[in-house]
Amino acid sequence: YHSQFSSSDADTILVSSEDTMYRIPSFTLRNTCGLFRTLAAPAQQLVQSDKDTSVPIEVAEKDKVLAKVLSMICGLHTENWESIGEVEDALSLVQKWDAPGPLSIIRGAITAPVFLAEPLRLYALATRFGWEEEAQLASTHTLAMNLYGDEHRASLERVSSHHLLVLLRFHRRRRDEFKNMVDGEGMFEAGNATRYLCVGCTKEVSNHTWREFKSRMFCEMDRRPLGDTLVGLEMEEWAEATACWSAKCRKTDCGRVQYNKLDTLRDIKKCIDRLPLHI
- Looking at residues 174-197, what average pLDDT do you find? 90
Model confidence pLDDT, tens digit, residues 1-41: 788 888 888 888 999 999 999 999 989 999 999 998 887 55
User: Which secondary-structure segment (H or E) carries 12?
Assistant: strand 12-15
Predicted confidence at residue 54, as pLDDT, reads: 66
pLDDT tens figures, 63-79: 999 999 999 999 999 88
Residue 214: count of CB within 10 angstroms of its CB: 21
Q: Are strands 12-15 and 57-58 parallel, antiparallel or unpaired?
A: parallel
pLDDT value of residue 40: 55
User: What's the pLDDT at 204?
Assistant: 86
pLDDT at 113 over 90: yes
Please state the pTM of the whole predicted model. Answer: 0.86
Label residue 146 by pLDDT band (50, 70, 90): very high
pLDDT value at 155 more than 90: yes
Length of the chain in terms of residues written: 279
Contact 118, 155 (CB under 8 A): yes
Least-confidence region, from 46-55, 97-106, 143-152: 46-55
Question: What pLDDT band is residue 214 in, cutting at 50, 70 and 90?
Answer: very high
Please choose, from the candidates 139, 86, 149, 92, the residue with its C-alpha nearest in 3D space to the C-alpha of residue 116: 139
Nearest to 244 by CA among 273, 224, 268: 268
